[in-house]
Amino acid sequence: MTTTPLTRHDRRMLRRMNDRRSRPLHATAARRRLAVAAHLVLTAAIGGLMTYFFFAEGEPLWAFVVVVALLLPWMVATGVINAATRGLLELRERALDERQSAERARVQARAHRAMTVLLVATTIAAGLSTAGAADGRLPTASAGAVLVAVLVVHWLMPLWVAGLMAQDEPAEDDGPAA
Protein backbone atom coordinates (compact mmCIF):
# COMPACT_ATOMS: atom_id res chain seq x y z
CA MET A 1 0.00 0.00 0.00
CA THR A 2 1.07 3.55 -0.55
CA THR A 3 1.56 6.09 2.18
CA THR A 4 -1.69 7.85 1.26
CA PRO A 5 -4.23 7.02 3.97
CA LEU A 6 -7.22 4.95 2.99
CA THR A 7 -10.57 6.69 2.87
CA ARG A 8 -13.74 5.21 4.34
CA HIS A 9 -14.74 4.15 0.82
CA ASP A 10 -11.37 2.41 0.33
CA ARG A 11 -11.72 0.49 3.60
CA ARG A 12 -15.30 -0.54 2.79
CA MET A 13 -14.34 -1.75 -0.69
CA LEU A 14 -11.30 -3.57 0.70
CA ARG A 15 -13.53 -5.43 3.19
CA ARG A 16 -16.08 -6.21 0.47
CA MET A 17 -13.50 -7.53 -1.98
CA ASN A 18 -11.85 -9.72 0.68
CA ASP A 19 -15.08 -11.16 2.09
CA ARG A 20 -14.49 -14.87 2.72
CA ARG A 21 -18.17 -15.85 2.33
CA SER A 22 -17.93 -15.87 -1.47
CA ARG A 23 -14.79 -18.03 -1.53
CA PRO A 24 -16.59 -21.28 -2.49
CA LEU A 25 -17.75 -19.66 -5.73
CA HIS A 26 -14.18 -19.04 -6.92
CA ALA A 27 -12.02 -21.40 -4.87
CA THR A 28 -10.73 -23.43 -7.81
CA ALA A 29 -9.37 -22.51 -11.22
CA ALA A 30 -12.22 -24.40 -12.88
CA ARG A 31 -14.81 -22.32 -11.03
CA ARG A 32 -13.03 -19.10 -11.96
CA ARG A 33 -12.89 -20.15 -15.62
CA LEU A 34 -16.59 -21.04 -15.44
CA ALA A 35 -17.40 -17.60 -13.99
CA VAL A 36 -15.42 -15.87 -16.75
CA ALA A 37 -17.04 -18.05 -19.43
CA ALA A 38 -20.51 -17.36 -18.01
CA HIS A 39 -19.75 -13.63 -17.89
CA LEU A 40 -18.52 -13.68 -21.48
CA VAL A 41 -21.59 -15.61 -22.70
CA LEU A 42 -23.97 -13.34 -20.77
CA THR A 43 -22.22 -10.26 -22.17
CA ALA A 44 -22.54 -11.61 -25.71
CA ALA A 45 -26.21 -12.51 -25.16
CA ILE A 46 -27.02 -9.09 -23.74
CA GLY A 47 -25.17 -7.40 -26.59
CA GLY A 48 -26.91 -9.51 -29.22
CA LEU A 49 -30.33 -8.92 -27.70
CA MET A 50 -29.71 -5.18 -27.45
CA THR A 51 -28.67 -5.13 -31.10
CA TYR A 52 -31.83 -7.02 -32.02
CA PHE A 53 -33.90 -4.63 -29.90
CA PHE A 54 -32.56 -1.59 -31.77
CA PHE A 55 -32.59 -3.03 -35.30
CA ALA A 56 -35.71 -5.25 -35.26
CA GLU A 57 -38.87 -4.29 -37.00
CA GLY A 58 -42.16 -4.64 -35.16
CA GLU A 59 -42.39 -5.51 -31.47
CA PRO A 60 -38.93 -6.36 -30.12
CA LEU A 61 -39.96 -5.57 -26.53
CA TRP A 62 -39.36 -9.19 -25.51
CA ALA A 63 -35.64 -8.72 -26.21
CA PHE A 64 -35.45 -5.82 -23.77
CA VAL A 65 -37.25 -7.87 -21.10
CA VAL A 66 -34.78 -10.73 -21.57
CA VAL A 67 -31.86 -8.26 -21.31
CA VAL A 68 -33.21 -6.98 -18.00
CA ALA A 69 -33.57 -10.57 -16.78
CA LEU A 70 -29.98 -11.40 -17.83
CA LEU A 71 -28.50 -8.40 -16.03
CA LEU A 72 -28.81 -10.02 -12.58
CA PRO A 73 -26.77 -13.14 -13.42
CA TRP A 74 -24.32 -10.89 -15.30
CA MET A 75 -23.83 -8.79 -12.16
CA VAL A 76 -23.41 -11.92 -10.03
CA ALA A 77 -20.75 -13.24 -12.43
CA THR A 78 -19.01 -9.86 -12.29
CA GLY A 79 -19.02 -10.03 -8.50
CA VAL A 80 -17.59 -13.55 -8.50
CA ILE A 81 -14.74 -12.49 -10.79
CA ASN A 82 -14.05 -9.40 -8.65
CA ALA A 83 -14.05 -11.55 -5.51
CA ALA A 84 -11.73 -14.07 -7.17
CA THR A 85 -9.25 -11.31 -7.95
CA ARG A 86 -9.80 -9.74 -4.52
CA GLY A 87 -10.71 -6.43 -6.13
CA LEU A 88 -7.59 -6.18 -8.23
CA LEU A 89 -9.24 -3.90 -10.76
CA GLU A 90 -11.90 -2.34 -8.53
CA LEU A 91 -9.75 -1.08 -5.67
CA ARG A 92 -7.83 2.15 -5.90
CA GLU A 93 -4.06 1.92 -6.25
CA ARG A 94 -3.49 3.11 -2.69
CA ALA A 95 -5.50 0.14 -1.34
CA LEU A 96 -3.27 -2.40 -3.11
CA ASP A 97 0.00 -3.80 -1.82
CA GLU A 98 3.08 -4.10 -4.03
CA ARG A 99 2.27 -7.63 -5.18
CA GLN A 100 -1.26 -6.62 -6.16
CA SER A 101 0.00 -3.51 -7.99
CA ALA A 102 2.41 -5.66 -9.99
CA GLU A 103 -0.37 -8.17 -10.69
CA ARG A 104 -2.66 -5.35 -11.87
CA ALA A 105 0.06 -4.15 -14.26
CA ARG A 106 0.49 -7.70 -15.63
CA VAL A 107 -3.26 -8.10 -16.10
CA GLN A 108 -3.57 -4.76 -17.86
CA ALA A 109 -0.62 -5.53 -20.14
CA ARG A 110 -2.03 -8.93 -21.09
CA ALA A 111 -5.50 -7.45 -21.66
CA HIS A 112 -3.94 -4.74 -23.81
CA ARG A 113 -2.20 -7.35 -25.96
CA ALA A 114 -5.42 -9.38 -26.32
CA MET A 115 -7.37 -6.25 -27.23
CA THR A 116 -4.76 -5.32 -29.83
CA VAL A 117 -5.22 -8.71 -31.50
CA LEU A 118 -8.99 -8.24 -31.43
CA LEU A 119 -8.75 -4.75 -32.92
CA VAL A 120 -6.45 -5.96 -35.71
CA ALA A 121 -8.90 -8.77 -36.52
CA THR A 122 -11.82 -6.33 -36.45
CA THR A 123 -9.98 -3.92 -38.73
CA ILE A 124 -9.17 -6.68 -41.20
CA ALA A 125 -12.78 -7.90 -41.16
CA ALA A 126 -14.06 -4.35 -41.66
CA GLY A 127 -11.63 -3.84 -44.55
CA LEU A 128 -12.68 -7.09 -46.22
CA SER A 129 -16.34 -6.27 -45.68
CA THR A 130 -15.93 -2.82 -47.18
CA ALA A 131 -13.92 -4.14 -50.12
CA GLY A 132 -16.47 -6.87 -50.75
CA ALA A 133 -19.49 -4.57 -50.83
CA ALA A 134 -20.83 -5.41 -54.30
CA ASP A 135 -23.53 -2.78 -54.46
CA GLY A 136 -21.22 0.14 -53.70
CA ARG A 137 -22.76 0.98 -50.32
CA LEU A 138 -20.74 0.71 -47.15
CA PRO A 139 -22.32 -1.49 -44.47
CA THR A 140 -22.97 1.43 -42.12
CA ALA A 141 -26.00 -0.04 -40.32
CA SER A 142 -23.91 -2.59 -38.47
CA ALA A 143 -20.90 -0.33 -37.98
CA GLY A 144 -22.37 1.22 -34.84
CA ALA A 145 -23.16 -2.17 -33.33
CA VAL A 146 -19.65 -3.42 -34.08
CA LEU A 147 -18.15 -0.28 -32.55
CA VAL A 148 -20.21 -0.70 -29.38
CA ALA A 149 -19.27 -4.40 -29.19
CA VAL A 150 -15.57 -3.60 -29.48
CA LEU A 151 -15.86 -0.90 -26.82
CA VAL A 152 -17.64 -3.30 -24.44
CA VAL A 153 -14.97 -5.93 -24.98
CA HIS A 154 -12.30 -3.28 -24.43
CA TRP A 155 -13.98 -2.33 -21.14
CA LEU A 156 -14.39 -5.93 -19.91
CA MET A 157 -11.18 -7.53 -21.24
CA PRO A 158 -9.11 -6.67 -18.13
CA LEU A 159 -11.78 -8.26 -15.90
CA TRP A 160 -11.82 -11.44 -17.97
CA VAL A 161 -8.02 -11.63 -18.07
CA ALA A 162 -7.78 -11.02 -14.32
CA GLY A 163 -10.34 -13.75 -13.66
CA LEU A 164 -8.40 -16.20 -15.80
CA MET A 165 -5.05 -15.24 -14.27
CA ALA A 166 -6.20 -15.40 -10.63
CA GLN A 167 -4.30 -17.93 -8.57
CA ASP A 168 -5.63 -20.31 -5.92
CA GLU A 169 -5.30 -18.95 -2.42
CA PRO A 170 -2.88 -20.88 -0.21
CA ALA A 171 -4.50 -23.37 2.14
CA GLU A 172 -4.84 -22.14 5.69
CA ASP A 173 -3.14 -24.28 8.34
CA ASP A 174 -5.35 -24.84 11.37
CA GLY A 175 -2.85 -26.77 13.43
CA PRO A 176 0.59 -25.86 14.78
CA ALA A 177 3.60 -26.34 12.57
CA ALA A 178 5.34 -29.67 13.07
- How does pLDDT run across 160-175, given as a tens digit for each residue? 999 999 887 766 555 5
CB 53 within 8 A of CB 63: yes
129-153 pLDDT, tens digit per residue, is 777 665 555 566 677 778 888 889 9
Q: What is the DSSP letter of 85?
A: T
Q: Is the pLDDT of residue 159 over 90?
A: yes
Rounded average pLDDT over 48-52: 89
How is the chain split into domains, by residue range?
Answer: 13-165
Tell me, what's the pLDDT at 24? 79
Tell me, what's the pLDDT at 139? 60
Greatest mean pLDDT among 34-48, 80-94, 116-130 = 34-48
More confident residue, 57 or 155: 155
Residues written for the chain: 178
CB 22 within 8 A of CB 79: yes
Any residues with CB less than 8 A from the CB of 143 and at least 6 apart, and which? Answer: 126
Q: How confident is the model at residue 18 (pLDDT cuts 50, 70, 90)?
A: confident
